Amino acid sequence: MSPRHPLIDPLYTEFAWLYDERFGADGIGGPDVGFYTRLALEARGPVVELAVGTGRVALPIVRSGVPVLGLDLSPSMLAIARRKAVEEGIGPELGLAAADMRTFALAQPAALITIPARAFLHNLTMDDQMATLASCRAALEPGGRLALNVFNPNLEMIAHWMKLPADQRKQPGDLIPDTLESRDYDPAEQRVDTRIRMKARGGKSVVAIRLRWVYRFEMEHLLSRSGFEVEALYGNFDGQAFELTSTEMVWVARAV
């Protein structure tokens, strides 16, 4: 086993307070709240969100009447989710706890586990990816669902980007166009390291976000090796079929 990356990106610790301001409105990868809420309403049993963050998705699901257990590695993100729940008068319907998606275990099997907002890509090694999926499989009841979304790597764009001089590296549709400091793609490692400028108290800081992308059939193999059967692969949150030009991969798999 390769060593596990021990540190969580500072975006989720010292800059957690900026997360909702930057990413709260539209989600990451598209407007996803309706999609995950529909799955939660269909679940006949406990619903768990991994990497729940500030509760951006979990809180609307709880508001729709479905209790959620949200797990996250970052105490700072969990603290924001907790504060928002208290402000809304939400009680134990939203459970929040510190846990690593690679090693979590549940007291009661889940009917649905979700990993919204591309958080699965924080698994930076194959061991981490497999550990996360094994933990999900062990935590789900038979036939239970796992739903997650990740971006669809655009090889043409990555190749183009890598040839551009640094000062021209802006992407149409980039989530963070005004604050992008740099972005490095490493196709051999399937790694993208993005640095963004954040206004910090008393100045500015540059914060790195590290992701490891996955390809469509790689994800299918990972799921299959981990005891899942793919139920659907969508190209967006409206249920459109996935195709080459889709920017997102939205996966729904069943524990078999």
Ligand X SMILES: C[S@@+](CC[C@H](N)C(=O)[O-])C[C@H]1O[C@@H](n2cnc3c(N)ncnc32)[C@H](O)[C@@H]1O
Per-residue tokens: 214: 């996955």
230 belongs to the binding site for ligand X (CB under 6 A): no
- Per CB under 6 A, contacts with ligand X among 169-228 are none
Q: Which value, to the nearest 10 degrees, does the dihedral of the CA atoms of residues 176, 54, 97, 46 take?
A: -100
Structure tokens at 187: 């196709």
Stretch that binds ligand X, among 105-113, 117-125, 197-205, 230-238 (CB under 6 A): 117-125
Nearer to ligand X, 12 or 228 (CB): 12
- Closest residue (Cβ) to ligand X? 53
Site for ligand X in 35-74 (CB under 6 A): 50-53, 56-57, 72-74
Q: Which residues have CB under 8 Å from 239's CB, separation 6+?
A: 35, 232
Q: Is 48 helix (H, G, I), strand (E, B) or coil?
A: strand
Return the axis-axis angle of helices 126-139 and 216-225, rounded to nearest 10°: 50
Min. distance of Cβ 255 from ligand X in angstroms? 20
| CA 8 – CA 208 distance, rounded (Å) | 10
> Nearest distance from residue 188's CB to ligand X, in Å?
23
Strand intervals (E) in 16-157: 47-50, 68-72, 94-98, 110-115, 140-151
Asked whether the beta carbons of 41 and 68 are under 8 A apart, the reply is no
Q: Does 102 bind ligand X (CB under 6 A)?
A: yes
How many residues of this chain bind ligand X (CB under 6 A)?
A: 20
User: Of 120 and 185, which CB lies nearer to ligand X in the complex structure?
Assistant: 120
Q: Which is nearer to ligand X, 116 or 144 (CB)?
A: 116
CB count in 10 Å sphere of residue 56: 24
Work out how close the CB of 131 gets to ligand X at its nearest, in angstroms, rounded to a whole number.
Answer: 9
Distances (CA, A) of 129 to 2, 189, 221: 12, 14, 12
Choose between 158 and 175: whose C-beta lies nearer to ligand X: 175
Task: Show the site string, 138-177: x = touches ligand X by CB under 6 A, - = not.
Answer: ----------------------------------------
CB of 163 to ligand X, least distance (A): 28
What part of residues 72-91 is at the interface with ligand X (CB under 6 A)? 72-74, 77
Alpha carbon distance 125, 15 (integer Å)? 24
Residues that bind ligand X (CB under 6 A): 8, 12, 28, 50-53, 56-57, 72-74, 77, 100-102, 116-117, 119, 122
